[in-house]
């Protein structure tokens, strides 16, 4: 990221997760409940494991905020791990109790996890817990909290994000890229937050069947962003192109193995005449009657809805176990099951929203500049005036 910087720290069973977000302008009012609502969404979803019954994530801000208003200094967001109390002896930063640590030791790497690759890479094969604690998707709670703060900056300028589940395992409820309108069908309280509420029951049955078989499922998540002005990102250099930056952020979510912008997958097999979006005069300046490009052309937002999909592999920890080798003995073994999700797809949309908000807030600040929110406001209004003959924002209502 260029204007914002985000670092997260903390282990899955450590005392807490911390995100430090640097670069938000001073003077931005933050809504704590809105951050907590996003954290609650991350714990949601049919098919989650026992951990979600233990944790009730809320944010505690310990820096960068005074009276609910940002100071322009790093925003420090903390999320306590309630489960820490059962892990203190094995995970204490200074005094690890050896019998407790031995009881938690992992020596047979689980396929699909960072265990083997991370253990080999960091010389921590004697206890793969040193790797898996950090590789765990628990870290995404920190990103969701930081992303929620960025979403509030975007919201100030009428930019809103929607998301939902398009596929659970082999069950496709929507083929291809979603639209903003389709994502409006998602009931946030539903078990799998899908764009097709009528199919929730069939989807939950599929998750139940996978659980009974000791197996796991992945799926596809779609998201759309409305209200982005044209011109965010850059066409001039590879590492400034916004499509690349967005896809990197999506692929950094644990389990995501592919990401697409707009009809990115489908257009590969179409003739050009069916792949590109005509430019026509419209009621808001220039209009695009279709949106195959998903709101990005040449690495730059084009004023249409930004549309992305993220493809999640099935959860790696199987109750039935997977073939592995015990690194302490060299013996062939089967992985041990530890409390785990059958699918995390119901939690995935809010994580996708968070990483999109981080990258888009960064791109907005890059284009608009400003250390104080009043300066960003002024730059926004001047930018919108310049664009007005060609682009006027569509309401995200
Ligand atoms: C919200 C969320 C929850 C997850 N929960 C689990 C889990 O309970 N058990 C598990 O084995 N993997 C889980 N994963 C996936 C692993 O974290 C991930 O597969 C692993 O860290 C390896 O990373 P990679 O899949 O990106 O290669 C979860 C992923 C997400 C996004």
Q: Which residue's CA lies nearest to atom 23 of ligand 1?
A: 254
In order of their start, the domains of the chain are 102-387 (3.60.150.10)
For ligand 1, mutation pick of 255, 321, 346 (most atoms within 8 Å of CB): 255
% of residues, the chain, pLDDT over 70: 100
For ligand 1, mutation pick of 13, 252, 254 (most atoms within 8 Å of CB): 254
Tell me how far CA of residue 33 lies from CA of 57, 145, 148, 158, 378, in angstroms.
Answer: 12, 11, 10, 19, 28
Each residue of 312-325: pLDDT tens digit?
Answer: 999 999 998 999 99
Is the model's pLDDT at 269 over the cut of 90? yes
Each residue of 70-83: pLDDT tens digit?
Answer: 999 999 999 999 99
Q: What is the mean pLDDT of residues 22-46?
A: 97
Instruction: Identify the residues whose C-beta falls under 6 Å from ligand 1.
Output: 49, 112-114, 135-137, 140, 253-255, 313, 315-317, 340-341, 344, 347-348, 351
What are the tokens at 114? 């960072």
Each residue of 167-217: pLDDT tens digit?
Answer: 999 999 999 999 999 999 999 999 999 999 999 999 999 999 999 999 999
- Scored b (16 or more CB within 10 A) or e, 328-356 reads eeeeeeebeeeebbbbbbbbbbbbbbbbb
Listed in sequence order, the residues at least 6 apart from 41 whose beta carbon sits closer than 8 Å to its beta carbon are 144, 188, 347, 349, 350
Neighbours of 291 (CB within 10 A): 19
Q: What is the DSSP letter of 193?
A: -
Each residue of 39-93: pLDDT tens digit?
Answer: 999 999 999 987 777 879 999 999 999 999 999 999 999 999 999 999 999 999 9
Q: For 273, list phi and psi in degrees, rounded to 5.
A: -65, -20
Give the pLDDT confidence score for residue 370 in this predicted structure: 93
Q: Which residue's CA lies nearest to atom 16 of ligand 1?
A: 254
316 CA to centre of ligand 1 in angstroms = 7
335 CA to centre of ligand 1 in angstroms = 16
Each residue of 349-375: pLDDT tens digit?
Answer: 999 999 999 999 999 999 999 999 999
Give the pLDDT confidence score for residue 68 in this predicted structure: 98
Measure the CA angle with vertex 112, ends 11 and 261; round to 5°. 90
362 CA to centre of ligand 1 in angstroms = 26
Residue (of 341, 338, 357) closest to 349 by Cα position = 357
Indicate the average pLDDT of the chain.
96
Q: CB burial class (10 A; 0-12, 13-18, 19+) of residue 203?
A: buried
Confidence band for 348, pLDDT divided at 50, 70 and 90: very high
Residue (of 35, 153, 155) closest to 395 by Cα position = 155
Give the pLDDT confidence score for residue 55 in this predicted structure: 78
Give the pLDDT confidence score for residue 213 in this predicted structure: 93
Q: Residue written as tokens 């699918």?
A: 343
Give the pLDDT confidence score for residue 339 in this predicted structure: 81
d(CA 318, CA 339): 10
Give the pLDDT confidence score for residue 13 in this predicted structure: 96
pTM: 0.97
Is the model's pLDDT at 397 over the cut of 80? no
SS3 (DSSP) at 256 = strand
Which is the closest atom of ligand 1 to the Cα of 257?
26
């Amino acid at each position: 990221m260029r204007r914002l910087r985000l670092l997260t720290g903390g282990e899955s069973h450590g005392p807490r997760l911390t995100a430090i977000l640097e670069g938000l302008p001073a003077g931005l009012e933050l809504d704590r409940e809105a951050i907590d609502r996003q954290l609650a969404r991350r714990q949601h979803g049919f098919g989650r494991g026992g951990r979600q019954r233990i944790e009730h994530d809320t944010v505690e801000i310990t820096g960068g905020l005074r009276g609910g208003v940002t100071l322009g200094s790093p925003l420090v967001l903390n999320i306590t791990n309630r489960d820490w109390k059962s892990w203190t002896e094995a995970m204490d930063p200074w005094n690890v109790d050896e019998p407790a640590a031995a009881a938690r030791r992992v020596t047979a790497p689980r396929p699909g996890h960072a265990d083997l690759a991370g253990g080999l890479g960091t010389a921590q094969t004697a206890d793969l817990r040193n790797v898996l604690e950090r590789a765990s998707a628990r870290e995404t709670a920190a990103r969701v909290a930081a992303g929620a703060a960025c979403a509030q900056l975007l919201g100030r300028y009428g930019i809103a994000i929607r998301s939902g589940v398009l596929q659970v395992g082999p069950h496709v409820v929507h083929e291809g890229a979603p639209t903003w309108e389709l994502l409006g069908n998602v009931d946030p309280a539903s078990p799998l937050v899908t764009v097709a509420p009528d199919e929730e029951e069939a989807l939950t049955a599929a998750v139940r069947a996978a659980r009974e078989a000791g197996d796991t499922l992945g799926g596809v998540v779609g998201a759309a962003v409305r209200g982005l002005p044209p011109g965010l990102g850059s066409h001039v250099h590879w590492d400034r192109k916004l499509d690349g930056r967005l896809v990197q952020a999506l692929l950094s979510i644990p389990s995501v193995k592919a990401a697409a912008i707009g009809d990115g997958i489908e257009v590969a097999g179409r003739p050009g005449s069916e792949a590109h979006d005509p430019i026509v005069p419209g009621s808001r300046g220039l209009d695009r009657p279709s949106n195959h490009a998903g709101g990005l052309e040449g690495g730059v937002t084009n004023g249409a809805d930004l549309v992305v999909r993220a493809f999640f592999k099935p959860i790696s920890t199987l109750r039935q176990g997977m073939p592995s080798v015990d690194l302490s003995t060299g013996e062939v073994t089967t992985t041990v099951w530890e409390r785990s999700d059958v699918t995390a797809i119901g939690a995935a949309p809010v994580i996708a929203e968070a990483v999109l908000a981080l990258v888009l807030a960064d791109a907005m600040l890059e284009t608009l500049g400003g250390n104080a929110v009043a300066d960003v406001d002024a730059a926004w209004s001047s930018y919108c005036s310049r664009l007005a003959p060609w682009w006027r924002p569509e309401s995200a209502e």
